[in-house]
Amino acid sequence: MSARTRLVVWVGSFVAPLAISVVLIPVRAVFAGAAMALVLVAAVTVLAVVADRGAGYVATLSAAAWYDYSWAPPYGRFTIGHRADLETFVALIVVGVGVTELAQWIRRSRRRHDESARLVNVVAEGAALGASSEPVRVVVARAGELLVETLGLRACRYEPGEINPPHARLLASGEVENAGLLWPVEEWGLPGPETEIAVTWRGRVVGRFVLTPRPAHPVSLERRVAAVALAQSVAGSLPGARVSGGS
């Protein structure tokens, strides 16, 4: 979500409870304040689910403020004169925050599930490529595309044969070794200008995928491990392995 879109969503999250409170003022005499609080909580829930955490918090504060102003006597003032209305006001904030956090947790869980499924599919596609009879150029091109997508790279190429000169290396553990030190990928992204994944076949290095990362683009450990697994799963079909792998 861009900064401009987020701002629009947050403004909408502030305005929505206000609009609901104003529209229902004509029935205030017959519509209990507690029932109004439930309506506002429903609005907060919708905004927290379809937008983000910030929108849920903005909607919660707006709902509490306009409940106080329009539905808790004395009307038209940000003052609460009765204990029951104060309890409803506090409950509205507590429930709004809770609903927002719950929606955020569900959203994160869904993203993790989708991410895991996608990475499994990537490795499975790599294994299918490695076991196929596709031409070398097709295997290399598709493996490169999958690595670009998985790691968020600018470019990727395969170099058969000896690894020279060495680059920062993405290891099977998902860690990145750069000049003998471990690189903080989740904070700084893959080190540039290039990082490599060494490809081994029958215990011997036969080539490498050379990765051109996007500057300061963090990459999760799961994606890094999947990328190495993908590279190794197609090893037997790559140039270098086929030359030496006839035996």
Residues 87-135 pLDDT 10s: 889 999 999 999 999 988 888 888 888 888 888 998 898 888 888 878 8
Length of the chain: 247
Quick one: pLDDT at residue 154? Answer: 93
Residues 64 and 26 in one domain: yes
Q: In terms of domains, do 76 and 13 share one?
A: yes
Identify the top-confidence range among 53-57, 163-167, 241-245.
Answer: 53-57
Pair (147, 197) in one structural domain: yes
**Rounded average pLDDT over 169-182:** 89
pTM passes above 0.75: no
- Determine which of 103-107, 226-230, 243-247 has the lowest per-residue pLDDT on average: 243-247
Higher confidence at residue 211 or residue 111?
211
Per the domain annotation, does 34 fall within a domain? yes
Is 200 found in the same domain as 138? yes
Q: Which of 51-55, 132-136, 146-150 has the lowest mean pLDDT?
A: 132-136
The answer to whether position 117 is within a domain reads no
| Amino acid at position 90, single letter | V
Note whether 98 and 156 are same-domain residues. Answer: no
Task: Tokens for 62, please give them.
Answer: 């707006």
Tally of domains in the chain: 2
> Is 224 inside any structural domain?
yes
Q: Where are the beta strands (DSSP E) in 104-231?
A: 153-160, 168-170, 176-178, 181-183, 195-201, 204-213
Whether 177 is in a domain gets the answer: yes
Model confidence over 55-74: pLDDT tens digits? 899 999 999 999 999 888 88
114 in any annotated domain: no
| Selection from 91, 96, 57, 55 nearest residue 72 by Cα | 91
Q: Averaged over 13-22, what is the pLDDT?
A: 93
Judged against a pLDDT cut of 50, whether residue 245 lies above it is answered with: no
Q: How far apart are CA 90 and CA 38, in angstroms?
A: 13
pLDDT at 247: 40
Q: Are residues 53 and 139 in the same domain?
A: no
Residue 40 located in a structural domain: yes
Task: Give yes or no: residues 98 and 167 share one domain.
Answer: no
Q: Which domain holds residue 97?
A: 3-109
The verdict on 79 and 140 lying in the same domain is no
